Amino acid sequence: MMDQFVFAAEVVLNGLMTGVMYALVALGFVLIFKASGVFNYAQGVLALFAAMTLVSIQNGQVPFAHLINAALGTQIHHFGWTVPAALAIALTALVMVGLAFLIEKLVLQHLVGQEPIILFMATIGLAYFLEGLGDVMWGADIKTLDVGLPQGISDGIEAATAQWFGYGFFIDRLDLWATLIAVVLVAALVAFAQYTKQGRAMRAVADDHQAALSVGISLRFIWVMVWSIAGFVALVAGIMWGTKSGVQFSLSLIALKALPVLMLGGFTSIPGAIVGGLIIGVGEKLFEFTIGPMVGGATETWFAYVLALIFLVFRPQGLFGERIIERV
Partner 1 sequence: MIYREAGDFKTSYRADGQTFPIRLERWGYYTVLAVAFGIIPFVINDYWANAVLVPFLIYAIAALGLNILTGYAGQVSLGTGGFMAVGAYAVYKLMTSFPGVSILIHILLAGGITAGVGVLFGLPSLRIKGFYLAVATLAAQFFLVWLFNKVPWFYNYSASGQITAPTREILGFAVTGPTTSAPAKYLVCLVLAFLLAWVARNLTRGSIGRKWMAIRDMDIAAEIIGVDPLRAKLSAFAVSSFFIGIAGALLFAVYLGAAEVGEAFGINKSFLVLFMIIIGGLGSIFGSFAGAAFMVLLPVLLKNVLVGNLGWPTDLAAHIELMIVGALIVTFLIVEPHGLARLWRLTKEKLRLWPFPH
Whole-number Cα distances in Å, 100 to 194, 205, 220, 228: 23, 17, 11, 5
As measured in angstroms, the least distance from the Cβ of 296 to partner 1 is 4
Beta strands in 43-137 (DSSP E): none
- The amino acid at residue 8 is A
* 3-class DSSP string for 142-201: CECCCCCCCCCECHHHHHHHHHHHCCCCCCEHHHHHHHHHHHHHHHHHHHHHHHCHHHHH
CA distances to 126, 196, 223 from 102, in Å: 11, 25, 11
67 binds partner 1 (CB under 8 A): yes
CB of 122 or CB of 240, closer to partner 1: 122
Tell me the torsion sign for CA atoms 205, 210, 215, 218. Answer: positive
Total chain residues near partner 1 (CB under 8 A): 50
Find the part of the chain contacting partner 1 (CB under 8 A) among 6-14, 51-59, 199-207, 307-315.
307-315
Closest contact distance (angstroms) between CB of 265 and partner 1 is: 13
Instruction: Name which of residues 186 to 215 contact partner 1 (CB under 8 A).
Output: none
Q: How far is the CB of 260 from partner 1 (least distance, A)?
A: 7
CB of 97 or CB of 312, closer to partner 1: 312
Q: Which of residues 22-41 bind partner 1 (CB under 8 A)?
A: 39
Length of the chain: 328
Q: Are 145 and 247 a contacting pair, CB within 8 Å?
A: yes
- Cα–Cα distance measured from residue 234 to residue 251, given in angstroms and rounded to the nearest whole number: 11
Give residues 110-139 in contact with partner 1 (rule: CB under 8 A). Answer: 110-111, 114, 116-118, 120-122, 124-133, 135-136
By CB under 8 A, name the binding residues for partner 1: 39, 66-67, 70-71, 106-107, 110-111, 114, 116-118, 120-122, 124-133, 135-136, 140, 256, 259-260, 263, 295-299, 301-302, 305-306, 308-309, 312-313, 316, 326-328
